[in-house]
């Protein structure tokens, strides 16, 4: 099992637009495996490659809930939202790059998504509920966008200041 360090906000690497993946090769498959290990270990329900310092359009998600739930990991390469519902839903989102801070975000309640899987096959699926929220959150990461970018400036600044403080403390402890 390989865990990759997760980049913490604020960091300019989280603001960049990720590059499409060309060929699905063993390097991509190893990255996806490491991302799933890192996501489950965190624990989290999603992870995007830029969060582990790889500027490529790859995300992993598994929103099955509950201790007895069977894992249902999905690896999405070059994911695209084909259609978003008019109806919206509000979810109190978190982010592994902004640990322990949460805020309500409004997003389309349902989305149709196309992506390439680890065998190089093109897949499409409809998502709703937490899956729809999480897939949108992860695709935002590929476009350099964080959930706090949807908040009012004052709330966003407050969360960014808390993260700056946390990063100073972590740097001091590891010095
Ligand atoms: O992208 C990320 O940083 C992962 C993030 C995904 C996400 C959470 C909530 C709404 C939308 C997207 C997380 O997984 S944060 C951790 C989390 O939400 C969680 C952790 C353990 C169990 C259940 C949820
Ligand atoms: Zn996130």
pLDDT at 90 over 90: yes
Give the whole-number percent of the chain exceeding pLDDT 90: 97
129 lies in which domain range? 12-174
CA of 114 to the centre of ligand 1 (A): 21
pLDDT at 66 over 80: no
Q: What is the CATH number of the domain that holds 115?
A: 3.90.45.10
CA nearest ligand 1 atom 9, residue:
93
Does residue 146 belong to any structural domain of this protein? yes
Has 138 been annotated as catalytic? yes
Cβ neighbours for 85, distance < 8 A, ≥ 6 positions apart = 108, 109, 110, 111
Identify the band that residue 65 occupies on the pLDDT scale cut at 50, 70 and 90: confident
For the chain, what is the domain count?
A: 1
For a mutational test of ligand 1's pocket, the pick from 5, 8, 40, 45, i.e. the residue with the most ligand atoms closer than 8 A to its C-beta, is: 45
């Amino acid at each position: 099992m390989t865990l990759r360090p997760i980049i913490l906000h604020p960091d300019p690497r989280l603001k960049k637009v990720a590059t499409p993946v060309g060929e699905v090769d063993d390097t991509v498959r190893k990255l996806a495996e490491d991302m799933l290990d890192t996501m489950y270990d965190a624990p989290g329900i999603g992870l995007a490659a830029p969060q582990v310092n790889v500027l490529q359009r790859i995300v992993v998600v598994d929103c099955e809930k509950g201790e007895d739930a069977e894992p249902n990991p999905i690896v999405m390469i070059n994911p695209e939202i084909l259609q978003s519902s008019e109806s919206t839903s509000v979810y109190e989102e978190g982010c592994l790059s902004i640990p322990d801070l949460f805020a309500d975000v409004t997003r389309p309640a349902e989305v149709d998504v196309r992506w390439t899987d680890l065998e190089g096959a093109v897949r499409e699926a409809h998502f709703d509920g937490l899956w729809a929220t999480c897939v949108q959150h992860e695709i935002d990461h590929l476009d350099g966008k964080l959930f706090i970018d949807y908040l009012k400036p004052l709330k966003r600044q407050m969360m960014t200041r808390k993260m700056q403080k946390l990063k100073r403390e972590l740097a001091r402890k590891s010095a």
